Amino acid sequence: MARVTTETRPVIKKIQAREWLFPLASFYAMLVLPLSVLAMLGQLHWLPGLANPHVHAHELIFGVAFLVICGYLLGNLARSRLLWLTGLWLLARISFWLLGFHPLSALFSAIAAFLLVQQVAPAFWRATKWQNRSVAPIVALVGLLTAIAGSDAVVFAAILPHALIVLTALMFFMGGRVIAPVLASFWLQQGVRMGNRVQPNVEGAGLIALAAGFVLQAVTLLPLLKGLVLMLAGGIIGLRILRWQPWQYRSRIDILSLFAGYSGLALGVFLLGLREYVPLTQLLATHAVTVAALGVLMVTIMARVTVVKKFKDAGALKSSHVASGLLVLAAITRLLAPLMPAAYLPLIHSAMLCWSLGFAVLLSVLWRCRS
């Protein structure tokens, strides 16, 4: 008589990546930006490594934003894999704070970036629509830039313009894919079916324009043409916002916050192109992308995803709207600072305070929504 055996496979413990990574990114954003600003202004002497403006930009993009991207895109992840990713990110931050731009911090970042790309890129590459498939090379570029950005300050300065374009492309796609279903749900509650909510033709045109801008940036040819292409991309993002008719949602603060971040993205991309014609807009363009777009969208989307998951209602915690509002104020004051030299320092400090308070409020939201 045959012997019947049953094999039991070990259960792999999986965790939503955002449950770990969103709070960690929020806590780090709350601390690193004001510390680096104070160090650059000469008001903080015990962290000399943060006084470098390149460190300031590096940690916002490849420290905070990288972790938010991981939390949003990775979904359910094996606990062991999530521990590796978190540990590598922490090692990269510690080594960066102690050593600054150094091959060791780049090594830790590179391994963490590999884990992100390995998990996310193949899934998007299998998509049938080319717009969805485009996320795969965008994420791959995020991983590549993360891997090399921390190795040397000169290398970082050289790749920063490329990183900003890649970051805007990811925000353009993912932000649109967040906003469109939110608007459709709003109208469905009114008994109206919203047609063409994603605006695929506009989305495709924006992705093509941003890809062309990235290629022209990479080959360092025809800078004026690159500027024109990026200004066109900014206009396409603005057109997408207008076609969504944001004025119809004035009673929904959560939706208006999403539009605020997406409008910051349109402004940032336009300024990235304009700087080829007006070099003085260089700093304004960088902060439009990193604060007005990235900062506002990060806080708004992290809060929304978490609150909806917990309460099934984006308006369940009013403090989430406060967090978004503080980031909008941070963006306004940061963009006004170079335009108003007489009030430069007060505006910088106001932006810094609003930024940190916004992420502190977000942390309280994430805590109240914990599993």
pLDDT, one tens digit per residue, over 84-115 is 999 999 999 988 888 888 899 999 999 999 99
Question: Given the structure tokens 């649109």, which residue do they identify?
Answer: 176
**194 and 268 belong to one structural domain:** yes
Encode pLDDT of 303-362 as tens digits: 999 999 999 998 899 999 999 999 999 999 999 999 999 999 999 999 999 999 999 999
Confirm if 180 and 198 have CB atoms less than 8 A apart: yes
Show which of 126, 151, 176 is a domain's final residue: 151
Place of tokens 């202004």: 41
Residue 225: pLDDT band by 50, 70, 90 thresholds? Answer: very high
362: which 2 tokens? 């977000």
Number of domains in the chain: 2
Q: What is the pLDDT of residues 47-62, one digit of tens each?
A: 766 777 788 889 999 9
- Residue 236 sits in the same domain as residue 130: no
Helix (H, G, I), strand (E, B) or coil at 12: coil
Residue 3 counted as domain residue = no
pTM for the whole thing?
Answer: 0.93
Using an 8 Å Cβ cutoff, are 161 and 217 in contact? yes
CA 336/CA 22 separation, integer angstroms = 29
Same domain, 115 and 228: no
Whether residues 116 and 222 fall in one domain: no
Q: Tokens for 218?
A: 């990479």
Question: Tokens 């700093």 map to which residue?
Answer: 283
Whether residue 273 has pLDDT greater than 70: yes
Range of the domain at 273: 160-371
Residue 144 belongs to a domain: yes
Mark whether 224 and 263 lie in a shared domain.
yes
Q: Tell whether 170 and 306 lie within a shared domain.
A: yes
CA distance 240 to 242: 5
Q: Are 35 and 102 within one domain?
A: yes
100 within a domain of the structure (yes/no):
yes
Which pLDDT does position 13 carry in this prediction?
79
Q: Are residues 59 and 114 in the same domain?
A: yes
- 136 within domain boundaries: yes
In terms of domains, do 334 and 186 share one?
Answer: yes
Residues 37 and 110 in one domain: yes
Give domain status of residue 1, yes or no. no
Instruction: Give me 295's structure tokens.
Output: 């900062």
Indicate the residue among 103, 126, 151 that finishes a domain. 151
Q: Which residue is associated with the tokens 């992308």?
A: 289
Q: Where among 89, 117, 151 does a domain terminate?
A: 151
